[in-house]
């Protein structure tokens, strides 16, 4: 059973460009979470999605950031007009469907975004 897949693993963008980060959850998982980790800091929650629905986006910056999890295909985290402060590691996690409080999240290897 393949784990959570993220691509690309490394992404370099110039200021003002767009960054698209992809996440394929584990097979059978329908919950996806995105986290951001700045250098030497812990992970910060950004957004929680289920298929075709954004459930909690309380950690998303108000501008330039968006996320989706379509019925078919991977979840996408999109950053428009990137700035140097967006440079970070972006991690995706997935968990199984259902409301069981004990379900753990499985993390992908992350995408390291560098804005030059």
Residues forming contacts to another protein in the complex (CB under 8 A) are 4, 31, 33, 35, 41-45, 48, 50, 55-56, 58-59, 89, 91, 93, 95, 99, 101-110, 112
- 17 or 30, CB closer to another protein? 30
List CB contacts of 61: < 8 A, sequence separation 6 or more.
Answer: none
Nearest approach in angstroms of CB 100 to another protein is: 8
Nearer to another protein by Cβ, of 17 and 22: the residue is 22
Taking the C-alpha atoms of residue 115 and residue 95, their distance in angstroms, rounded to an integer, is: 30
Q: Which is nearer to another protein, 17 or 106 (CB)?
A: 106
Dist. CA 41–CA 63, nearest whole Å? 22
């Amino acid at each position: 059973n393949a784990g959570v897949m993220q691509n690309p693993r490394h992404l370099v963008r110039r200021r003002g460009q767009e960054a698209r980060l992809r996440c394929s959850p584990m097979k059978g998982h329908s919950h996806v979470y995105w986290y951001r980790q700045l250098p030497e800091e812990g992970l910060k929650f950004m957004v929680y999605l289920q298929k075709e629905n954004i459930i909690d986006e309380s950690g998303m910056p108000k501008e330039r950031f968006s996320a989706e999890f379509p019925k078919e295909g991977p979840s996408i985290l999109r950053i428009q007009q990137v700035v140097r402060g967006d440079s970070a590691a972006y991690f995706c996690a997935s968990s199984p469907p259902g409301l069981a409080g004990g379900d753990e999240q499985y993390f992908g290897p992350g995408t390291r975004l560098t804005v030059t």
